[in-house]
Structure 1
Amino acid sequence: MTDALELDALWEDFHRVVNMTSQELAAWLRVRDAEEATEPLPEQAGTATGQRVLAILRKRRTDLTRDDLRVMREVVDTVTERADPENEPVTGATAGDTRRRHRLMTLGHDPLKG
């Protein structure tokens, strides 16, 4: 598995990049998946990764599985890469920023939060 120092660093990195609370993320996933006539069940809203992030946010560090650690590493890497506007294609400032923000929020990172 992962040694204690690696786990501590990953836990800190994950909670640094995932700056939305579990309540905020759950609400965002429901809103994002809601359609005009239907809304998904709360436990089925959002992407698979978004649901995994939500589950991890609700866990204690001692309850993490190997799969949780893998997801945490992927989220840290993805958010770190995508949070840099230099990595995004230029498609119009407002539209690109909104799409980028929404993709990041699906992973639990709101770039507008301080």
Structure 2
Amino acid sequence: MAVSAQIDDALWDEFHTVVNMTSRELQDWLSVEAAGEETEEVPDRAGTPRGRRVLEILGKRRTDLTQDDVDVMRRVCEIVRSQRDPSLEPTAGGTDWRHGLMDIGHDPLKPS
């Protein structure tokens, strides 16, 4: 059931600011990140559960969002906000830190 009335402009805008990777970039990243020497996941299941949810949300219209989608959007915004300077200026950091953020659609080296 869509809950578009429960998502305010601020959350919608913040989510689409902090998730600065396109759907294609995120899909490619999740596929590469999930590929290992001995295993390669099915493309639709590649990456972290939260990363796959972000990818699904990016493919939805605002009017089609569910409450679960809104909760994921809030959590992604909280994660990025807690780990980044509010300006979101491109920042180099450790590989694990960058990859963790990229798993949810935020590339800290990419301008917003």
Q: Which TM-score tier does this pair reach, normalised by the shorter chain?
A: 0.7 to 0.9
How far is 1:11 from its partner? 0.6
How far is 1:38 from its partner? 2.7
Contact 2:23 2:58 in 1 (8 A): yes
The question of 1:99 aligning with 2:100 is answered no
Contact 1:83 1:104 in 2 (8 A): no
Question: Map of 1:57-96 to 2, 5 A cutoff?
Answer: 57-84=58-85
How far is 1:80 from its partner? 0.9
The Cα offsets for residues 31-63 of structure 1, whole Å up to 9 and x where unpaired, read as 111011331111110111001000000101110
**Bigger proportion of residues as helix:** 1
The two structures have a TM-score, normalised by structure 1, of 0.83
How many residue pairs get aligned? The number is: 103
> Percent identity over the alignment?
56
Instruction: Provide the alpha-carbon RMSD of the alignment.
Output: 1.8
Tell which structure's C-alpha radius of gyration is larger.
1
Instruction: Tell me the SS of whatever aligns to 2:94.
Output: helix
How far is 1:112 from its partner? 0.3
The two structures have a TM-score, normalised by structure 2, of 0.84
Q: Which runs of 4+ in 1 moved over 6 A?
A: none
